[in-house]
Structure 1
Amino acid sequence: MTDDERAITEDQRQQAKLIWDYHQMHHDVGPTDVAIGLGSHDLGVPAFCAELYRAGLFPTLVFSGGSNPTAPERFPRGEAVHFREHALALGVPADAVLLETGARNTGQNITLSREVLTVAGITPKTVLLVSMPYMERRAYATARKVWPEVDVICASARLEFDDYLKTIGDEQLVVHQLVGDLQRVIEYPLLGFAIEQDVPKDVRAAYASLIHDGFTSRLLVP
């Protein structure tokens, strides 16, 4: 399929940009006790973790994630393993990195990383969650539910929406992901997986518009 066939319309871009902005928490990133790099298909996560580690923002980094459920071929040895290798290549020392290789979703990323830290004798009070840009809000809501004792800061690579589209190279895929994550922000509190987040009317309208346009591949199956 060509780039033109994977492109989105200008109206879809505007709607998606509203959701993109909503997904980001816009937290001030500062020193924390530990950081957790949440598994995904995006090597921007370990790259940004490495940047923040080199800046001295945390002494310990956990990479969490097993086989990617939507693209297992991308990281055949598991997300956390590949993320660690990428971070080490960018200058993070091996003894600063812990691995959690079993998580299959964001809740497990956080709860199993907590267990790994406990085994290592680390009980953090502040945690930096590093994710893909459109996962920040869901990561925050999940962490506040499953690990309420810690203060949570969310961060992702500093990219504008159009730059992220170019980085991924598939505009439609990104919009499918944005819509799917927003559905989880809305629905997961009802299932007990996350705290409730206010969703502004314009964001809900953009969500409905993009679903109407067929961006449904990442929606939860009823």
Structure 2
Amino acid sequence: MTDNEQAITDDQRQRAKLIWDHHQMHHEVRPVDVAIGLGSHDLGVPAFCAELYRAGLFPSLVFSGGSNPTAPERFPRGEAVHFREHALALGVPADAVLLEPSATNTGQNITLSREVLAAAGIMPKTVLLVSMPYMERRAYSTARKVWPEVDVICASAPLEFDDYLKTIGDEQLVVHQLVGDLQRVIEYPRLGFAIEQDVPEDVQAAYGSLIRDGFTSRLLTP
């Protein structure tokens, strides 16, 4: 861990884990008509998509995402393009993968992927959204708002919080992301972007205290 990739305190870790647990929907993964891999900075998403495809859980897969706004250098040709290449390298056949290379937010991930699927003649009734672990709840609440007629299941690589911190290698970055995603879960329904989600009091308290600790880089600007 470098000087720019600093550790968090034990107390911050406990508070962040409360938010981590809340972000996960704990849906039972089952066969669906199609999966959508949501763009991010995390190659765990296409890797898990490939694992679920090989398990026979869906016949078609869309990777969605343009340039990553916070780290464009990570996937210079866009998230979806790099995710597709990673999945193909892991054995997913090219004819099973559709590409949506333009989305810049979660709402666009879902609405533009829906358009890509429709253009391919695929009208799913069940959709699996594969995301980073702390993005599940936001993905679910967004999908229920913009695509309410489908049955949505959310999934992510089955990692414990501490294991995910090690995978990313930058503990503070993960906490900034956790806080930012929870703010979106709270605020987006008021903006018409998502359905309302209950946030327990202990999660709200952890959220507020981490903001006071300075984990604010992913918060929405006024």
| TM-score grouping bracket, smaller chain normalisation | over 0.9
1:205 aligns with 2:211: no
Judging changes above 3 Å, is the alpha-carbon distance between structure 1 residues 143 and 5 closer, same or farther for their aligned structure 2 residues?
closer
Partner of 1:194 in structure 2? 194
Partner of 2:30 in structure 1? 30
Give the Cα separation in 2 of the matches to 1:141 and 1:211.
Answer: 23
Give the Cα separation in 2 of the matches to 1:5 and 1:153.
Answer: 33
Q: CA RMSD in A?
A: 1.0
Q: CA deviation at 1:4?
A: 8.9
Q: Per the alignment, in what secondary structure is the counterpart of residue 154 of structure 1?
A: strand
Give the Cα separation in 2 of the matches to 1:166 and 1:83.
Answer: 21
Give the Cα separation in 1 of the matches to 2:62 and 2:166.
Answer: 28
The answer (yes or no) to whether the contact 1:138–1:181 under 8 Å persists in 2 is yes
Identity of aligned residues (%): 90
Partner of 1:121 in structure 2? 121
Partner of 1:158 in structure 2? 158
The answer (yes or no) to whether the contact 2:61–2:97 under 8 Å persists in 1 is yes
Q: CA deviation at 1:3?
A: 5.5
Give the Cα separation in 2 of the matches to 1:4 and 1:81.
Answer: 28
Partner of 2:18 in structure 1? 18
The answer (yes or no) to whether the contact 1:68–1:78 under 8 Å persists in 2 is yes
1:56 aligns with 2:73: no
Partner of 1:214 in structure 2? 214
Partner of 1:66 in structure 2? 66
The answer (yes or no) to whether the contact 1:46–1:83 under 8 Å persists in 2 is yes
What TM-score comes out, normalization by structure 1 length? 0.99
Q: Per the alignment, in what secondary structure is the counterpart of residue 85 of structure 2?
A: helix
Question: What one-letter code is carried by the residue in structure 2 that aligns with 1:148?
Answer: P
The answer (yes or no) to whether the contact 1:107–1:193 under 8 Å persists in 2 is yes
Give the Cα separation in 1 of the matches to 2:122 and 2:5.
Answer: 49
What is the total number of aligned residue pairs between the two structures?
A: 222
Partner of 2:109 in structure 1? 109
The answer (yes or no) to whether the contact 1:34–1:127 under 8 Å persists in 2 is yes
Query: Cα deviation per residue 1:94-141 (whole Å; 9 max; x = unaligned)?
Result: 000000001000000000000000000000000000000000000000
Give the Cα separation in 1 of the matches to 2:44 and 2:3.
Answer: 21
Q: Where do 5+ consecutive residues of structure 2 fail to align?
A: none
The list of structure 1 runs, each at least 4 consecutive aligned residues, that deviate by more than 3 angstroms after superposition, is: none
Q: CA deviation at 1:2?
A: 2.5
